[in-house]
Amino acid sequence: MLIFIFLICLGVFPMYGQEPAPQRVGVGLVEHKLTIKEAIEMALVNNLDIEIERTNRSSAQTALRGTRGFYDPNFRWVPGLELRNMPTASVLIAPSGKLTEHLHTEQLSYRQLLPWAGQQLAGGFDNSRQSTTNPFSSLSPFVTSRLFFSFSQPLVRNRVIDPQRAEIRIRQKQVSLSETELETKVIGVVVRVQQAYWSLAAARKDTDVRADFVKWGREQLARNQRMIAAGTLAPVELSASEAELQRRLDMYYSSLDTITEVENILKALLTPNREASLWSEQIIPVEDKTLSPPEVVDLRETVTSALKARPELRALSSQEQINQIQKQQAADQVKPQLNLVLSYVANGLGGTAQTGPNPISASNAALYDRVNQLSGYVGLDPLTAPSYGGAPPTMVGGLGTSLENLFLGRYQSFQAGLALDLNIRNNAAQANLAQTVIAERKLKLQQAQLEQLIEIEVRNALQAVQTARQRIAATEASARAAKEKLDSEIRLFQTGESTNFMVLTRQSEYADSRHRAVVANLDLNRAVVRLQQAVGSTLQGHGITVR
């Protein structure tokens, strides 16, 4: 006996009630006492389901930020060097048959989609410096500059909505949807934590009942042994008491399995990973109370309030809004595409004037010399070779001259026009529009189905609360009566007016009444938790705000 007590102190046989129990797998002697508030707070910080849902919300927010990049301006710079050696069959372009040009370009461009009515804006500034061996070029090297702007305005398709604006609006709704889904997940976790917490508290109370049941069996066995030794009880009753004691031990050990299973469920809700220290500790629920259900005055008003508060309906509303955006976009894509296009271009040119002889005049120089020589013999005036002129003075210079010509607007071009794209059948757009109409009908059916489900949940939860209250009152009265009958039966047995069988039967009745009382209280707590979830007051009841 001393060795047995020593083993209990070492924790080889932890105590539940007054009955030694075998060592539970993975659980040591450390007890972690926990209130329901502390359990919920741990779950909100550590629960993996909530963390996963938070990543979904972050992903939706990141996706929204990415879609706003549709309107980011795009700048492009393209510098380049080029050496051209081109064969030519015209002696006017290159007497040697090879035209050589050196080209240095700097191209800057800007493009942006505007967020208002599908407009597109583009612009650019180009500079190039070119030298050429073409003798007919008045300037070499010369610099050309170009400044251009273009603007496109949809008049039919993509004016009210376009794919980019639709995507942004959808992403905004998806962020709202992800926040609602996070709230739904938090509610689910809080509900599961409460259910697991009260289940663990009830399992431990039930184990105490089973331990008392075993204790009573041991006490009855000891009474039987004393009475058999005194000759007032038949020895055969000893076997009946021993058999009943072993049956009760079996029920007691089975209740320990229930504790472990429920405790592991609660630990999984409260811990971030399997390395958490809580896994090796015993969770001891500190609170052991019967919850008070929310005040319900009228079923219709309660259901109406639940329909307004339930996040599932808000999530479905967000999905309907997303589908409306998709429907609007699909209807817009069925229209023909007609765009107004405007453009403006300003050019500049400046370079170094070539000083060599005019190629055409130079080719006739010998002829003019001979004619003028003969003309002198006869007293005629000499002929002058025709001049083809050179580049205008406003073009002679360099980069500064080119930019001056550009910004003074000496060489401007304007363009306005329409661009029409017409798809006669447009089967893809028609099919997309039809899909959104089907989805709209499906979502309305789902809404009706969900509203029915919410009403069912409210009704069932209210009924469960009412039934559990009635059961608690009945089991408490039953337990009191069973205790009185047991005490009376023990007194009668000790005076020889009752039997061992009747004492064991009264013990079983009392234990069963206490067990049913534990179950009734657990069912009431569960029903209250379900009712809070059904009417959408779970978070409000615990002062939780989802951010």
What radius of gyration, in Å, describes the C-alpha atoms of the chain?
47
- 370, pLDDT greater than 60: yes
- 132, pLDDT greater than 70: yes
Distance between terminal CA atoms of the chain?
A: 59
* Mean pLDDT on 316-321: 94
Its pTM surpasses 0.85:
no
Q: pLDDT category, 184, cuts 50, 70, 90?
A: very high
Report the DSSP pairing between strands 282-285 and 31-34: parallel
* Mean pLDDT on 305-318: 93
Q: If DSSP codes are grouped into helix, strand and coil, which group holds residue 38?
A: helix
Q: pLDDT category, 183, cuts 50, 70, 90?
A: very high
Query: Smallest Cα–Cα separation from 348: which of 278, 399, 382, 385?
Result: 399
Hey, which bits of 289-353 come out as E strands?
337-353
The predicted pLDDT at position 472 comes to: 92
Q: Which backbone phi and psi does 275 adopt, to 5 degrees?
A: -90, 0
Contacts (Cβ under 8 Å, ≥6 apart) of 8: 14, 15, 20
Q: Which two tokens stand for residue 269?
A: 């809700």
Report the DSSP pairing between strands 139-154 and 337-353: antiparallel
Can you give the length of the chain in residues?
A: 547
Is the alpha carbon torsion for 23, 25, 28, 31 positive or negative? negative
The predicted pLDDT at position 1 comes to: 34
Q: 463 near 505, Cβ under 8 Å?
A: no
3-state secondary structure 272-285: CCCCCHHHHCEEEE
Query: Smallest Cα–Cα separation from 317: which of 173, 533, 441, 168?
Result: 173
Q: If DSSP codes are grouped into helix, strand and coil, which group holds residue 145?
A: strand
The CA distances from residue 407 to 148, 271, 402, in Å, are 12, 70, 9
Residue owning tokens 């500190």:
286
Mean pLDDT, rounded, of the chain: 87
Q: CA angle at residue 404 from 398 to 407, to 5 degrees?
A: 140
Enumerate domains of the chain plus CATH numbers.
Answer: 184-329+433-541 (1.20.1600.10)
The predicted pLDDT at position 511 comes to: 93
Burial of 186-215, coded b for 16+ CB within 10 Å and e otherwise, reads bbbbbbbbbbbbbbbbbbbbbbbbbbbbbb
The predicted pLDDT at position 189 comes to: 93
- 256, pLDDT greater than 80: yes
* Mean pLDDT on 517-541: 92
* Mean pLDDT on 135-156: 89
Q: 220 near 241, Cβ under 8 Å?
A: yes
Q: 455 near 507, Cβ under 8 Å?
A: no
- 395, pLDDT greater than 90: no
Q: pLDDT category, 2, cuts 50, 70, 90?
A: very low
Q: What is the greatest pairwise CA distance in the chain?
A: 180
Residue owning tokens 């894509």:
333
Helix 311-334 to helix 427-494 angle (10° resolution) is 170
Lowest mean pLDDT among 136-150, 385-399, 448-462, 480-494: 385-399
Residue 169 CA to residue 327 CA, distance in Å, equals 13
- The pLDDT tens digits for 59-95 are 999 999 999 889 999 999 999 998 988 888 776 677 7
In one letter, which amino acid is 314? R
Is the alpha carbon torsion for 303, 308, 314, 319 positive or negative? positive
- 233, pLDDT greater than 90: no
Hey, which bits of 44-89 come out as E strands?
74-87
- 265, pLDDT greater than 90: yes
Residue 496 CA to residue 492 CA, distance in Å, equals 6
- 363, pLDDT greater than 70: no
